[in-house]
Amino acid sequence: MSSVFDYSGLLNEVVQECRKHAERGQLPSYIPELKKADPQMAGVAMMTARGLFEAGDTRQNFTLQSISKVFSLLVALERRGVEVVFAKVGSEPTGDSFNSIVKLETSEQKPLNPMINAGAIAVCSLIPGASVEERFSLISGLLESILDRPIEIDEAVYLSEKETGHRNRALAYFLKDINGLEGDVEEVLDLYFRQCSILVNCADLARIGMFLAAKGINGAGTPIVSANAVRLVSTFMVTCGMYNGSGEFAIQVGIPAKSGISGGILGVVPGQYGLATYGPALDRKGNSVVGISMLRRLSDVLDFSIF
Ligand code: GLU
């Protein structure tokens, strides 16, 4: 693309065109607080070497949810090393839903990958620290050094998840039983629920995407994590980042991406830009309907598929 390409014009067009697809999706019901979102919201942001471009509801805050799995994995890889992490979690995609329990017992006795809930909970248990606060500060600190602002959590969502996260609790206790989780189960769950409740907006996510696109270097030019950790995480984003819709997404959009159940999607075009979309109505796999349609459209126009 030439340096004068009208990204703002394109993003505006894409939001207007894709917003209507919200009616094909539904708000998640199993975390009561998330049902309060406005399904009509739609935002898209793009961080490039020329700066931030955005259109639609890009300043609406939402919780990271599963997108947080990217950051706890980066922290665990950096602090504990590749061997320790992969002793507790595998690297294969799963055709099951993100919170499925079924493969834990029937496969290798460890979660198939760090992007499903069981894997992410196992990864959380590897984050070092004397207290949940101290461990959480490693995750929030990573985001603070990318975004250059303090990180907050949505207290109501955090409490809602803590109260209703029975399946995550079941996964964590099962992991403990098979020696798949370090430390105290309730503390690990607390850390997991906190990271899921971190507040961001599309503009933040696009900056984070650019940080990954730049192999772990923040906007001020400071390396924050190793290029190898970013490479591993980006690979997981390709193979498992969009839940059991990752294969179709790779064909239609073709970039490392991670979605969350609150309707956000973080996208990375390696070496080029960071992308972010928001649209709370989800398809049956848990991905934002509007977000996917906006990313498909952008991939068609900008031809950024890595494949
Ligand atoms: N907090 C959610 C859960 O653990 C995250 C799920 C998601 O975004 O996929 O169930």
Query: Of all helices (H) and strands (E), which one includes residue 271?
Result: none
Residue boundaries of the structural domains of the chain: 7-65+199-301, 68-196
The domain defined by 7-65+199-301 carries CATH number 3.40.228.10 = no
Q: Looking at residue 2, what is its pLDDT?
A: 47
Interatomic CA distance for residues 180 and 125, integer angstroms: 9
Q: Which fold has domain 68-196?
A: Beta-lactamase (3.40.710)
Interatomic CA distance for residues 208 and 36, integer angstroms: 26
More confident residue, 271 or 29: 271
Q: Do 7-65+199-301 and 68-196 come out as alike in CATH topology?
A: yes
Please check the confidence at residue 95 and state whether its pLDDT lies above 90. Answer: no
- CA of residue 263 to ligand 1 center, whole Å: 11
CB 126 within 8 A of CB 84: yes
The percent helix, strand, coil of the chain (3-state, each to 5) is 50, 10, 35
Please check the confidence at residue 31 and state whether its pLDDT lies above 90. Answer: no
How many percent of the chain have pLDDT more than 90?
90
Pocket of ligand 1 (CB under 6 A): 65-66, 98-99, 117, 161, 168, 196, 260-261, 286
- Tell the residue nearest (CA) to atom 6 of ligand 1: 66
For residue 167, the ligand 1 atom closest to its alpha carbon is 10
Interatomic CA distance for residues 254 and 296, integer angstroms: 9
- Tell the residue nearest (CA) to atom 2 of ligand 1: 65
Interatomic CA distance for residues 65 and 278, integer angstroms: 13
Cβ atoms within 10 Å of 2's Cβ, excluding its own: 4
Q: Looking at residue 3, what is its pLDDT?
A: 55
- CA of residue 220 to ligand 1 center, whole Å: 31
The residue type at 114: P
Please check the confidence at residue 190 and state whether its pLDDT lies above 90. Answer: yes
